[in-house]
Amino acid sequence: MTDIRRPENMERITTPELAQAFIDEQVKLLREQIGSDKVLLALSGGVDSSVVAALLIKAVGDQLVAVHVNHGLLRKGEPEQVQRVFRDEMKANLIYVDAVDRFLDKLAGVSDPEQKRMIIGGEFIEVFAEEARKLDGIKFLAQGTIWPDILESEKGIKAHHNAGGLPEDLRFELVEPVRILFKDEVRAVGSALGLPDNMVYRQPFPGPGLGVRCPGAITRDRLEAVREADAILREEFAKNGLEGKVWQYFTVVPDFKSTGIKDGERCFEWPVIIRAVNTRDAMTATVENVPFELMQHITQRIITEVKGVNRVLYDFTPKPTATIEYE
Ligand code: XMP
């Protein structure tokens, strides 16, 4: 099952009808492959793992055991949405793991970006492996591998991040139902499966999450400021027609403070940096021309609603020279 390739002549899935045909075929194949066994899935709430979960729920129902690890670096409302959509609405067998303290304790005082990434990635595998060991009778591991992942790992551009990672005693057979799809096709299939638009059409979000938007050593209070400011930015972009138009937008709270005035008193607090960029392939990026009045409104909301913040800045830098993320 793991060496399946996209047929050269495969029609691009661009319509609900084509998506439905793909779903019908996959459901049949998944039932054949899985039989009456159990499948494990790490469900992050991102597009790929969400679509894989929805496909498996349709094919094998509660034989799917989905594990959602909250590492404390997710955006506001994300862990709640995963539980609402998959457990409450789709009736999935979902295990929710609150690992927030575990991750943030491990990250405390760590300021090197690569070390932060390694801790987040390593801890994720440990938490997931611990959950897997508690379960009996798992035969398969489902993964949201997509066709560009295969192509990029073949070209040596990046390691195929989905493959492996789990310790020796947890080598399950792989199930990869969206392996031959491009990203836009995964989205079309997700919509046809009834997943909400804000899950299917969401902007890219890095694996280390808000951790890379809280540069330097992560503290809980600064992380909370990033999360709250990000929620305001997303709400305002959605209200003002920029959601779906701008490729990626988010906030960063750097690890320095500056002087300001609040309620007639001097304060010494963080700035929030807003980044909003457009790109085709994330190799280069240009900055979105956000209307000045909207920026003023967002600034006003952030400085009044987000604790510990007294300044808002806009990042005007294209890629190159700046990367999209700050770490
Ligand atoms: P940069 O910062 O390199 O980002 O210009 C390009 C795109 O990749 C995303 N990104 C990541 N995604 N893990 C991910 O899954 C990561 O560690 C990571 N770092 C950057 C970034 O959000 C942007 O869309």
Domain locations in the chain as residue ranges: 16-200, 209-314
| Ranges of the chain with pLDDT below 70 | 1-2, 157-164
CA-based torsion, 156, 158, 160, 165: positive or negative? positive
Q: How many CA atoms lie within 13 A of 235 on its CB side?
A: 13
pLDDT at 160: 57
Q: Where are the alpha helices (DSSP H) in 193-310?
A: 197-200, 220-239, 292-305
> Quick check: 118 and 98 in contact, CB under 8 A?
no
Which atom of ligand 1 is least distant from the CA of 203? Answer: 24
* Tokens describing residue 112: 């090197």
pTM of structure? 0.94
Instruction: Identify the CATH homologous superfamily for domain 16-200.
Output: HUPs (3.40.50.620)
pLDDT at 163: 46
CA atoms of 276 and 274, how far apart (whole Å): 7
Q: What is the DSSP letter of 178?
A: T
Q: Please provide the distance, in angstroms rounded to a whole number, between the alpha carbons at the two ends of the chain.
A: 36
Ligand 1 pocket: which of 230, 325, 327 to mutate (most atoms within 8 A of CB)? 325
CA atoms of 323 and 206, how far apart (whole Å): 13
Collapsing DSSP states into helix, strand and coil, what is residue 38?
strand
CA of 172 to the centre of ligand 1 (A): 28
CA atoms of 6 and 158, how far apart (whole Å): 19
Convert 38-49 into a string of H (helix), E (strand) and C (coil). Answer: EEEEECCCCHHH
Q: Where are the alpha helices (DSSP H) in 110-219?
A: 113-134, 147-154, 183-192, 197-200
**Domain 209-314 has what CATH class?**
alpha beta
Ligand 1 pocket: which of 226, 324, 327 to mutate (most atoms within 8 A of CB)? 324
CA of 67 to the centre of ligand 1 (A): 24
pLDDT at 52: 98
* Tokens describing residue 139: 């035969």
CA atoms of 139 and 170, how far apart (whole Å): 10
pLDDT at 262: 97
